[in-house]
Chain A
Amino acid sequence: MRVYAPPSAVGSSTGYLLLDTTPTQLALPASKIFNVSRAIEWKAEPPTPFGSLLPIRFRVPEPEWILRISGISGPVAALVSGAIRIVYLRKASLLSMPTRTHVGFDFYSEVILADGKPSALVVNIDALPRAHREVDI
């Protein structure tokens, strides 16, 4: 999967990967994703180093995709399942997460609005708990 910006979106909106997560749809900044591949090479053992990288909704028993993400401390991988959509959002569709909030809020940087209502959360990749080890797949 290649992430690209249509000409009309360049300079006016930002790309995000919308993941099929519950109960809340989560999104990742497209600029942080450098590869998306099928999880066919994923081995079940050990599951927790990757599951612990991202919030619990990413910890899926049958992952379909592996997202390679650029983090501050280097590449990390996330296992997800379900549909992945690329959306381009203008600034008006995003609100900053409340600051000085409970630590659980620190994992998310922005709220995505749809029809003026909160519809998804943008994951703050660099604030997520780190795995004990990282594996370069």
Chain B
Amino acid sequence: MTFDVVPICLGDKWVLVRAEVVSEFLPNTPWLPVPGSTPLIPGVTTWRGRAIPILDLLRALDLGAIAPLDARARIMVIECGLGAVAVPVDSAREVITLKDEELRPPHVSSTPYTTGEVDGKDSVLPLIEIAHILRDVGKVSS
């Protein structure tokens, strides 16, 4: 059996997310801070005629934090059972198809929300479960 993942770059860190939850990549889109919101969901942006929350994946993975005028190159739109969120990322590569046996339990990665590891060309890549982050945050856009 196989599964598809998308490598995304946050700062200088590459991580993998399951391709099945990735809906679209947008060019850098400005987002609006929502005063009083949680740091992990700091604002909103627009997508397909509706407002969706911004997920600060850098903060969730302890890699820093985003800012409204941050020059992140891409916005990754994630759609899962809990709704749609927009995730600013620095870059992304094409979808990779992996065999189930290539995914190992996390040993090397200390990145939060890592559910597995995959050997990359130069390093071990953690597989991040965005749905777990959203569940911890509490609620997302419907």
Contacts and interface: CB of A to CB of B under 8 A. Distances in A.
A104 B36 contact: yes
Interface string A95-126: 11111111111011001010011111100000
A95 B51 contact: yes
Nearest to B46: A118
Interface in B118-142: 137-142
B53 A105 contact: yes
A95 B50 contact: yes
A117 B138 CA distance: 26
Contacts of A105: 34, 37, 41, 44, 53
Interface string A74-109: 000000000000000000000111111111110110
Given A102-B137, A111-B46, A24 B41 contact: no
A100 B38 contact: no
* Interface size class of chain B, counting residues whose CB lies under 8 Å from the partner chain: 20 to 34
Interface string B8-30: 00000000000000000000011
Contacts of B140: 98, 100-101
Contact of B50 (A56, A96, A101, A120): A96
Interface residues of A, number: 28
Given A101-B141, A104-B37, A95 B31 contact: no
The 5 A-B residue pairs with the shortest CB-CB distance in the complex, in nearest-first order: A98-B141, A104-B37, A118-B32, A104-B36, A95-B51
Interface of B: 29-38, 41, 43-46, 49-53, 68, 83, 137-142
21 contacts: A24-B32, A26-B35, A95-B49, A95-B50, A97-B51, A100-B140, A100-B141, A101-B140, A102-B53, A102-B137, A102-B138, A105-B37, A105-B41, A107-B35, A111-B44, A117-B30, A117-B46, A118-B32, A118-B44, A118-B45, A119-B32
